[in-house]
Structure 1
Amino acid sequence: MVTSFPVIKHGHPKDRRVDLKQVQAGLAVTGDGGIPVHARVFGGGAAEVSQVVGAMKDLRKLAGEPGFLLVADSKLVSYANVAALLAAGTAFIAPVPAAQVKDGFYAALDLEVATVVDWVPDRDTGKDPAQREVYRVLEDVHTLNGPRKRDPVLTVRRILVHSTGNAAGQQAARAKRLTRASEDLDKVRNGADGKYYNTEKKIAERIGVITKTRGVASCLRTEIGQDEAGRTTLAWHFDQQVLDDEAAADGWYALLTALTPEQADPGQVLVQYKGQGSVERRYADCKAPWRSPRCSCSTTTASPP
């Protein structure tokens, strides 16, 4: 039986609570003032990436002849979505999914040649200039390959953004993970050959759990062995080179846009993208009184510059 209404069902929520059923909501607001102008409800199993084109078509009807700028989250960035937006001539800005740009690429970027953006977040306006978050930008191109060999390769303008605030947050999160992993590993090392970790298999299994829960798979190095008395031992350390490489990529992320350099320079693209937060605030307004189910397809609209 085919239903014409959203169905509450299991899906793929961002918080990974796959044990809970959900319904999804898509919302679009104006870039000026964050006023809601478009909303749709989707079934719990609907893929967020598949909701973009429908929203784009609805917003084109609302915008009429002047056109509009679509600012969305990373779920916009798929080959099908970008191809549809480019074919429709719809200007857009969206962050590139993290998996599409390797940390090694960001680590190789030269922060010294990046341009400082003359913009201050509202949360920093009352702070001393030395304490404000600083944004820097570079520009290159991003390519997307279609699912079929005959699909044309899409080339899109890419803005590479570095945020000192993001960098500080990532450094703090890494330090927290390493501290907790160290505490867990020390317990295993100190308890080796004891009641709970008396075999190499048990130690290896526990290390596997720590590696996964603390997110240290890339940098953790361990050695399980035996001492002269035949007792099971554990030695471990974090690979400093790996940590240095990860730190070099801190603070960087990328935005894709169909805006031309004449319409917006890299700094202006970033400022336009920052308006996307107004959608999240409208979602909070919706959820606060009655704790609505999870929402998706965050989108803002505005006239192109």
Structure 2
Amino acid sequence: SISFCGGYRRARGRQIRARTAPAITFGHSKAHRPDLKQLLFILTMSADGNVPVAFRCTDGNTSDSVTHVQTWETLRAVAGRSDFLYVADSKLCSRENMDHIDRAGGRFVTVMPRSRLEDAQFREWLQTHTPEWSLVWDRPNPRYSDGPRDCWYVHRAPLPSMEAWSIVWVWSTLLTLRQHARRLRNIAAAIEEFERLRQRLASAKTRLRGAPEIDLQIKLIVDRHHVGRYLKVRRVVREEHVFKQTRRGRPGPDTAYRKITKRRFDVQWSTDEQAIAYDRRSDGMYPLMTNDRKLSAAQVLQAHKGQPMIEKRFEQIKTVHQIAPVFLKDEGRIEALFTLYAIALLVQALIERELRQAMAHEAIEELPIYPEQRQCAHPTTEQVLRLFSLAERHQLRQHGRTVQAFNLTLTDLQRKVLALLGVPASTF
């Protein structure tokens, strides 16, 4: 989602040059800016080098789940066949999307959402059984040299999905640690907010005096930290009793008193240890579903692991290419501008693919392409362009005639990169 600052009252899907322009409107903001209107930037990449192969721009309130059929049909038209493997996130996992691809002879791999019955059944089965996990990868920790190893396991579920398609469960050891730590952080953060809410309610100057207002605050805290399963929170009423004399004067043995009862709201919570233990049993596990029964469980995992690279491309288009903010008013021109960004992303991906494949072919593990000639194992287009940013060629001209040309002298590293890219130095 690309956010826009402005009203854009005319951008409601009007006709521009005999075609419908996308509507700039409110929708589910992946940038966490629900106050801004947006457009949807839809991108599809190939597994070979993460190269963009399809792009389109659509209305800002379009749901992700309804975009896959049109995207898949576009890819089939471009490829001229339908037997390619289409990999997507859980938005693909709807009966309409999967049936359309399967009936047309296509293949897909998708993440099964937590709302599916098969997911709940497997997690319940895990409480008393241990699956036969098969180790696929055993790699060093990607962040810390002394950290736990990054191990990935797969297990093909004995029962298929309700559509009779294969389900492959994936288990990551590092993901297990992250999910458990995140759960503890969320519970601790929620308890801290409940403590502050309790102090507010106990204050004599509190403005939270109504039960609906307090219930709303409790719900906001629970939803913000996703702890509805782990913390049982309830609003209670505490009574404070104060005794006062019925008449004025110094109290004596026959003085009568009356009891004044003040009611104050309070918040109580308790931790559901059973729910925490239940979910911890399946930490780091998630299901994948595919209609290709010829793929092994390891191949299904390997196909899905490349899918998150699409997020890297989206990050680059927002940071490196700086697609936002957009200083245009006409939505037709905005769509054209987005197309140019998609072409720029395509060129960037092709440069990276060409250079990295050439490095693998020449058995070159690293290039000193970073600043201060630091080594780089996976060069990016940004670093390649930076390497040639100071390359200049000057011409001394007088009365429209070239007197002398000062040609460019390439460094050894620049010549090496050009050779790996297949660009002759003379052409450059």
**TM-score (structure 1 length as normaliser):** 0.79
TM-superposed CA distance for 1:276, in Å, is 0.9
What does residue 238 of structure 1 align with? 271
1:41 aligns with 2:60: no
**Letter in structure 1 aligned against 2:306:** G
Question: Which residue, out of 259, 264, 268, partners 2:295?
Answer: 264
TM-superposed CA distance for 1:234, in Å, is 4.2
1:135 aligns with 2:152: yes
Cα pair distance change 1:18/1:204, threshold 3 Å = closer
**Letter in structure 1 aligned against 2:46:** T
Contact residue 148 and residue 174 of structure 2 kept, 8 A: no
What does residue 189 of structure 2 align with? 180
Residues 13-45 of structure 1: CA deviation (Å, up to 9, x unaligned):
234533211111221222111112221111212
Contact residue 179 and residue 284 of structure 2 kept, 8 A: yes
Higher relative contact order (CA 8 A, sep 6+): 1
The separation in 2 between residues aligned to 1:198 and 1:276, in whole angstroms, is: 47
What does residue 376 of structure 2 align with? none
TM-superposed CA distance for 1:107, in Å, is 4.6
Following superposition of structure 1 onto structure 2, how do residues 12-161 of structure 1 map, counting pairs within 5 Å? 12-65=28-81, 67-101=83-117, 103=120, 105-109=122-126, 112-120=130-138, 124=142, 127=145, 131-140=148-157, 141-143=160-162, 154-161=163-170
SS in 1 for 2:137: coil
TM-superposed CA distance for 1:108, in Å, is 2.9
Cα pair distance change 1:186/1:197, threshold 3 Å = farther
Gaps of 5+ in 2: 1-13, 242-260, 326-337, 339-428
TM-superposed CA distance for 1:279, in Å, is 2.0
Gaps of 5+ in 1: 144-153, 296-305
Contact residue 103 and residue 246 of structure 1 kept, 8 A: no
**Letter in structure 2 aligned against 1:241:** Q
RMSD, aligned CA:
3.0
Cα pair distance change 1:41/1:120, threshold 3 Å = farther
The separation in 2 between residues aligned to 1:193 and 1:167, in whole angstroms, is: 39
Bigger Cα Rg: 2
The separation in 2 between residues aligned to 1:267 and 1:255, in whole angstroms, is: 11
**Letter in structure 1 aligned against 2:88:** A
- Identical residues among aligned pairs (%): 27
Contact residue 134 and residue 155 of structure 2 kept, 8 A: no
Give the ranges of 4+ consecutive aligned residues of structure 1 lying more than 6 Å apart after TM superposition. none
The separation in 2 between residues aligned to 1:277 and 1:5, in whole angstroms, is: 29
Cα pair distance change 1:174/1:125, threshold 3 Å = closer
TM-superposed CA distance for 1:191, in Å, is 5.1
The separation in 1 between residues aligned to 2:214 and 2:179, in whole angstroms, is: 29
SS in 1 for 2:136: coil
Contact residue 193 and residue 199 of structure 1 kept, 8 A: no
The separation in 1 between residues aligned to 2:137 and 2:192, in whole angstroms, is: 41
What does residue 395 of structure 2 align with? none
Cα pair distance change 1:63/1:123, threshold 3 Å = farther
**Letter in structure 2 aligned against 1:116:** S
SS in 1 for 2:227: coil
Cα pair distance change 1:188/1:19, threshold 3 Å = closer
Residues 170-211 of structure 1: CA deviation (Å, up to 9, x unaligned):
212211111111112223445554322885736545433322
